[in-house]
Amino acid sequence: MKNKVYIQDVTLRDGMHAIKHSFGKEILTQLAIALDQAGVDAIEIAHGDGLSGSSFNYGFGKHTDKEWLSGIAEQLQNAVLTTLLLPGIGTIEDLKVAKDLGVRSVRIATHCTEADIAIQHIAEARKMGLDVGGFLMMAHMNTPKNLAKQAKIMEDAGAHCVYVTDSAGALLMHEVEERVDAFKLELNSDTQIGIHCHHNLSLGVANTIVAMEKGAYRLDASLAGMGAGAGNSPLEVLIAVLNKMGVEHNCDLFRLMDLADDIIRPMQERPVRVDRETLSLGYAGVYSSFLLHAEKAAKKYGLDTRDILVELGNRKMVGGQEDMIVDVALDMHKKVNHD
């Protein structure tokens, strides 16, 4: 296994955030097939907030997860069809439906201090015979040592792999290293470590590489970085870097470049890039998925997106609390009108 990495594409899940969960079924299917042909090891498909994320709070999807997932597994040659589940939003029943549609792997995601709410889901996923990852989101909000203890809870529940998930794109390179190191000390040697980055501080690829060098085996990335905030580690860039490093993988760089530029970039109504707003996410340590919701609230209530994001950070809001964006905007709106 040494010097070989496992590449999981998240374009069709995290990428949903960048286009308000509006992937059409046809383009999603074409992309899944193309990603499979381009050699990624796993393809994650779901609403951006995981199974049953479609809602007022997170945005209604163009399709249901069931519709997005159906008919995909049969068309993949090598890649593992994967999905995401956030306990508190989706349920084991949702996972059963996904499994029946051919999903073979799932990530169970919780905030970085709440791993125990995933024990039931990890155990049930194992019973269903799925490959299971534990996904510790907003990893910058917990110390390396305590994050590793949370990872241990997921390992004990049955996770094959546990992720350092930098949902806010806020971790610096040495902070990623410290967390992966802590995982290695705490977890069994046969438990894999994964890394999921956001590019808000332009560190998506760099953080993925330092995690790999410290022992992370599963690396998340998406075409043209298509994901929440400034996006994820851009897949084609990551592969180019891995090529130059001589790290073994199964991906075809030029095919991925073409998909990124020809298909994905034109879909981005709001460019996925590091700019004033997305940089503020990383800088203030705010959940990347808040971006478009905060931009909408800023427009509606005549406020600055950056101010809303920073205030959300001050209030220590965690992933999933999108309703609090409107709450913050209303408070700020009242204050502006009062002053």
Q: Which residues are catalytic?
A: 17
The residues facing 165 across adjacent strands are 196
Q: Rounded to the nearest whole angstrom, what is the least distance from the CB of residue 66 to other proteins in the complex?
A: 8
Q: Could you tell me the two tokens for 282?
A: 């990383």
The angle subtended at Cα 197 by Cα 192 and Cα 202, nearest 5°, is: 145
Dist. CA 123–CA 159, nearest whole Å? 8
Q: State which amino acid sits at residue 15.
A: G
Does 54 interact with other proteins (rule: CB under 8 A)? yes
Dist. CA 135–CA 15, nearest whole Å? 17
Residue with tokens 């069931």: 66
The torsion angles phi and psi of 166, rounded to 5 degrees, stand at: -90, 70
Instruction: Give the residue from 38, 43, 94 showing the smallest Cα distance to 72.
Output: 43
Residue with tokens 């994050």: 147
Pattern 279-318, other proteins, x by CB under 8 A? ------------------------------------xxxx
Dist. CA 231–CA 254, nearest whole Å? 20
Does 330 interact with other proteins (rule: CB under 8 A)? yes
Pattern 66-85, other proteins, x by CB under 8 A? x-------------------
Q: Tell me whether residue 157 or residue 182 sits nearer to other proteins (CB atom).
A: 157
Instruction: Count CB atoms within 10 A of the CB of residue 188.
Output: 8
Does 196 interact with other proteins (rule: CB under 8 A)? no
> Of 113, 202, 250, 268, which lies in the binding site for other proteins, with binding defined by CB under 8 A?
113
Does 87 interact with other proteins (rule: CB under 8 A)? yes
The torsion angles phi and psi of 192, rounded to 5 degrees, stand at: -80, 160
Stretch that binds other proteins, among 34-42, 179-187, 257-265, 323-331 (CB under 8 A): 323-331
Q: Rounded to the nearest whole angstrom, what is the least distance from the CB of residue 136 to other proteins in the complex?
A: 13
Contact 320, 88 (CB under 8 A): yes
> Of 89, 108, 251, 267, which lies in the binding site for other proteins, with binding defined by CB under 8 A?
89
Q: What is the DSSP letter of 56?
A: T
> Of 4, 71, 93, 243, which lies in the binding site for other proteins, with binding defined by CB under 8 A?
93
Does 321 interact with other proteins (rule: CB under 8 A)? yes
Q: Tell me whether residue 40 or residue 154 sits nearer to other proteins (CB atom).
A: 154
Q: Rounded to the nearest whole angstrom, what is the least distance from the CB of residue 226 to other proteins in the complex?
A: 21
Instruction: Give the residue from 64, 145, 154 showing the smallest Cα distance to 114.
Output: 154
> Of 33, 92, 240, 247, which lies in the binding site for other proteins, with binding defined by CB under 8 A?
92
**How do 42-44 and 6-9 pair as beta strands?**
parallel
Query: Which are the contacts of 25, defined by CB distance < 8 A and separation ≥ 6?
Result: 63, 67, 68
Stretch that binds other proteins, among 1-9, 11-19, 60-68, 234-242 (CB under 8 A): 60-68
> Of 57, 202, 250, 268, which lies in the binding site for other proteins, with binding defined by CB under 8 A?
57
Q: Tell me whether residue 92 or residue 240 sits nearer to other proteins (CB atom).
A: 92
Binding-site size for other proteins (CB under 8 A) equals: 37
Exposed/middle/buried for residue 262 (C-beta within 10 Å: 0-12, 13-18, 19+): exposed
Q: Rounded to the nearest whole angstrom, what is the least distance from the CB of residue 213 to other proteins in the complex?
A: 30
> Of 37, 55, 202, 250, which lies in the binding site for other proteins, with binding defined by CB under 8 A?
55
Chain residues in the site for other proteins (CB under 8 A): 52, 54-57, 60-64, 66, 87-89, 91-93, 111, 113-114, 116-117, 119-121, 315-318, 320-321, 323-324, 326-327, 330-331
